[in-house]
């Protein structure tokens, strides 16, 4: 056969592969990068797809996602066990589909990755090639994973804090058999040619550390209910009318993580067993304002003097101090002074300001 014909056929085959996941061509992959002056690296993400057998269990969209997970995994040299985990997590998180609208917080795409947790922009995350490569990027950082259970490896990538309440039965219901079947029925891997290039900046992806676009964010990301606003109210403990409430109350389950609402320096950490006052408390100086986070369940997760980034975890919701239920009391102040006491620095509040209107100015609606 003439060489030109050969290449025409291979080219046509690649196009067919991209759309129908059926071609059996095996062609070498290309990868590589070039440095840009911004400290970011422009790379070609691994883009490959495996043939997946037609089954009644999975429809065309689901088989396409499975084909990408297997293809990209093989292309990047991951073991079948790693690829199986990647399949099982995708089955659990979004049923091997690519949801482009968030229904749980800001979770998007094949792996329900969250922009607020540093996984990428919403546009990136809803690109399955990007999302799958991101999953494998983090999977590659899990040491010793062959010695760990499938669930432990999966949650090490997705969210280690969920280990506390998830078991294989509720996170991987039947998915191991399904993933084994897909892998066993999968065929050759072929490159996907989309021309998409990806810009990867130098900071390592750490799913537990938020990298936020905005300078300001809300103190809770899990569901909460606002129970008491700023200003005069009936005191919930004394029943006294007109007691001034200097903050905003977010009712949430005990243990809900609390995040710093902006960059700042911790100016007070209070640990107390006294059932009065603010209980276990952190105060952060953000320059423009100071924020107090009160009634934490345990000793706060930060120490006085620590420099924080917006979104750093500082403690957990609780009901220490004067509190009738689990909630975060968030207060914002201007001015005030810091007194050095034997127990450490103590912030003497300046003027309390309304958290709702302040946050609204920052584009946030608590």
Q: Would you give the binding string for Zn ion spanning residues 329-358, x where CB under 5 A is met?
A: x-----------------------------
- Of 21 and 328, CB closest to Zn ion: 328
- Of 107 and 326, CB closest to Zn ion: 326
Size of interface with Zn ion, in residues (CB under 5 A) = 3
Q: How far is the CB of 140 from Zn ion (least distance, A)?
A: 44
Whole-Å CA distances, 302 to 211, 262, 287, 289, 305: 18, 15, 18, 19, 9
Under the phi-then-psi rule, with left for phi > 0, alpha for psi from -120 to 50, and beta for the rest, what region is 226?
A: beta
Q: How far is the CB of 321 from Zn ion (least distance, A)?
A: 10
User: Strand, helix or coil at 146?
Assistant: helix
Q: How far is the CB of 116 from Zn ion (least distance, A)?
A: 25
Give the bridge partners for 257, in sequence order.
Answer: 316
- CA-based max dimension of the chain: 94
Q: Does residue 109 contact residue 103 with C-beta atoms inside 8 Å?
A: no
The Cα–Cα gap between 18 and 194 comes to 9
Q: How far is the CB of 315 from Zn ion (least distance, A)?
A: 15
The Cα–Cα gap between 224 and 74 comes to 42
Q: Would you give the binding string for Zn ion spanning residues 293-332, x where CB under 5 A is met?
A: ------------------------------------x---
Q: At 132, list the tokens.
A: 């799958």
- Of 73 and 247, CB closest to Zn ion: 247
Among the listed residues 76, 121, 72, 69, the one whose alpha carbon sits nearest the alpha carbon of residue 92: 69
- Of 144 and 238, CB closest to Zn ion: 238
Task: Choose which of 93, 249, 312, 316 interacts with Zn ion (CB under 5 A).
Answer: 249
Cβ count within 10 A of residue 255 = 14
Stretch near Zn ion under the rule CB under 5 A, chosen from 19-27, 67-75, 216-224, 246-254:
246-254
- Of 127 and 246, CB closest to Zn ion: 246
- Of 36 and 276, CB closest to Zn ion: 276
Q: Which residues of this protein are in contact with Zn ion, per CB under 5 A? A: 247, 249, 329
């Amino acid at each position: 056969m003439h060489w030109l014909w050969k290449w025409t056929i291979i080219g046509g085959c690649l196009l067919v592969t991209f759309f129908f996941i059926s071609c059996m061509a095996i062609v070498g992959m290309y990868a590589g990068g070039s440095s840009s002056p911004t400290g970011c690296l422009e790379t070609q993400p691994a883009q490959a797809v495996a043939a997946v057998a037609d089954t009644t269990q999975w429809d065309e969209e689901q088989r396409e996602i499975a084909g990408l997970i297997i293809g990209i995994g093989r292309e990047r040299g991951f073991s079948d066990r790693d690829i199986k985990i990647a399949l099982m997590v995708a089955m659990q998180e979004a049923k091997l589909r690519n949801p482009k609208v968030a229904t749980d917080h800001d979770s998007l795409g094949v792996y329900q990755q969250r922009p607020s947790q540093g996984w990428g922009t919403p546009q990136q995350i809803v690109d399955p090639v990007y999302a799958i490569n991101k999953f494998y990027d983090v999977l590659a950082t899990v040491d010793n994973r062959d010695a760990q259970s499938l669930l432990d490896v999966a949650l090490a990538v997705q969210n280690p804090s969920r280990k506390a309440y998830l078991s294989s039965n509720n996170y991987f219901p039947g998915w191991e058999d399904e993933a084994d079947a897909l892998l066993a029925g999968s065929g050759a891997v072929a490159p996907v040619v989309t021309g998409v290039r990806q810009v990867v900046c130098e900071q390592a992806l750490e799913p537990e550390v938020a990298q936020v676009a905005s300078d300001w964010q809300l103190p809770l990301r899990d569901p909460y209910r606002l129970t008491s606003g700023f200003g005069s109210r009936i005191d919930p403990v004394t029943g006294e009318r007109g007691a001034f409430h200097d903050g905003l109350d977010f009712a949430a389950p005990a243990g809900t993580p609390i995040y710093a609402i902006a960059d700042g320096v911790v100016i007070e950490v209070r640990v107390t067993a006294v059932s009065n006052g603010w209980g276990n408390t952190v105060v952060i100086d953000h320059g423009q304002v100071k924020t107090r986070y009160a009634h934490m369940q345990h000793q706060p997760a930060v120490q006085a003097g620590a420099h924080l980034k917006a979104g750093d975890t500082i403690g957990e919701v609780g009901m220490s101090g004067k509190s009738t239920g689990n909630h975060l009391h968030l207060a914002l102040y201007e001015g005030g002074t810091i007194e050095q006491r034997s127990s450490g620095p103590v912030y003497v509040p300046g003027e309390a300001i309304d958290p709702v209107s302040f946050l609204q100015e920052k584009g946030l609606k608590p």
